[in-house]
């Protein structure tokens, strides 16, 4: 396993696991973690054998508490600059452009920047009994990163979460469809994420990547242009060797051998 201080990265059998490793700080997003994640997203896109990603964190009862507020206060006192000055991609916009699916395995509470990581993931597994929230208004900060949630949550719910800064039972967001699965404990969260990752990994990689890209693009371009745009995204999939291998394997009653070409 490759350890970079407070961030862990491992690849096994086509599945990359990224873990925030700051249990003493409730897995808060320090400058090191934020910038390290940016480098990892780039590395994943440059590694063809990676088919899917699991994003998790150290076991401390909190998936991610958001920005490291102690570090923010210290940096302001020492440099006079806001801490986001030192985050190369403070809102993890690069994460949303990762080609392969990202599964958030969230054991524990999810707050502020933890919610950012959650919404930037493609599939979410949470832990029953945890809470989740957009807490920036309670500390005088903001959540411009939360705008994709307009397409993921009902507008009144998003308004309430953003303006109150309260934490809510994760079960509420599971009922609204934001959380794919809720599991009773950390081990079950990780097992569910692993199972999903293996099922995605075993599918045709070009089809999976195009599916993710088409869905996210449709969110951006709107319904009127979504179908046409999606067709252009999927064009290479239909022209691929894998598009012929799938039906051939079905006819021959065997598992397909994907090449990603």
Q: What tens digit of pLDDT does each residue of 41-81 get?
A: 999 999 999 999 999 999 999 999 998 889 888 888 899 98
φ, ψ dihedrals at 201, nearest 5°: -55, -35
Query: For tokens 């990224």, what's the residue?
Result: 18
pTM over 0.85: yes
Q: Do the Cβ atoms of 219 and 148 come closer than 8 Å?
A: yes
Which domains does the chain show, CATH number per domain? 2-201 (3.90.226.10), 205-251 (1.10.12)
Percent of the chain with pLDDT over 70: 92
For 177-200, write each residue's pLDDT tens digit.
999 999 999 999 999 999 999 999
The pLDDT mean for the chain works out to 89
Closest-CA residue to 133 (of 109, 155, 153, 151): 109
For 83-93, write each residue's pLDDT tens digit.
888 989 888 98
Residues 6+ apart with CB under 8 A from 139: 69
Query: For tokens 């996210």, what's the residue?
Result: 216
- The count of C-alpha atoms lying within 13 angstroms of the C-alpha of 234, restricted to the half-sphere facing its C-beta, is 16
């Amino acid at each position: 396993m490759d350890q970079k201080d407070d961030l862990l990265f491992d690849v096994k059998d086509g599945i990359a696991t990224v873990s925030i490793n700051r249990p003493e700080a409730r897995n808060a997003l320090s400058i090191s973690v934020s910038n390290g994640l940016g480098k990892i997203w780039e590395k994943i896109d440059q590694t063809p054998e990676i088919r899917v990603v699991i994003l998790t964190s150290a076991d401390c009862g909190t998936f991610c508490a958001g920005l490291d507020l102690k570090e923010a206060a210290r940096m302001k006192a020492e440099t006079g600059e806001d801490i986001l000055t030192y985050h190369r991609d403070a809102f993890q916009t690069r994460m949303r452009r990762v080609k392969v699916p990202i599964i958030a395995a969230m054991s524990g509470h999810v707050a502020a920047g933890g919610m950012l990581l959650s919404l930037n993931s493609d599939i979410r597994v949470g832990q029953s009994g945890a809470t989740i929230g957009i807490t920036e208004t309670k500390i005088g900060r903001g959540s411009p990163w939360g705008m994709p949630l307009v397409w993921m949550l009902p507008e009144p719910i998003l308004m309430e979460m953003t303006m109150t800064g309260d934490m809510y039972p994760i079960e509420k967001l599971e009922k609204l469809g934001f959380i794919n699965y809720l599991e009773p404990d950390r081990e079950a969260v990780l097992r569910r994420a692993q199972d999903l990752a293996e099922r995605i990994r075993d599918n045709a990689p070009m089809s999976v990547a195009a599916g993710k890209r088409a869905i996210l693009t449709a969110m951006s371009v709107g319904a009127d242009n979504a179908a046409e745009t999606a067709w252009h995204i999927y064009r290479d999939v239909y022209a691929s060797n894998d598009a012929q291998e799938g039906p051939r394997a079905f006819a021959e009653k065997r598992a397909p051998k994907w090449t990603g070409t």
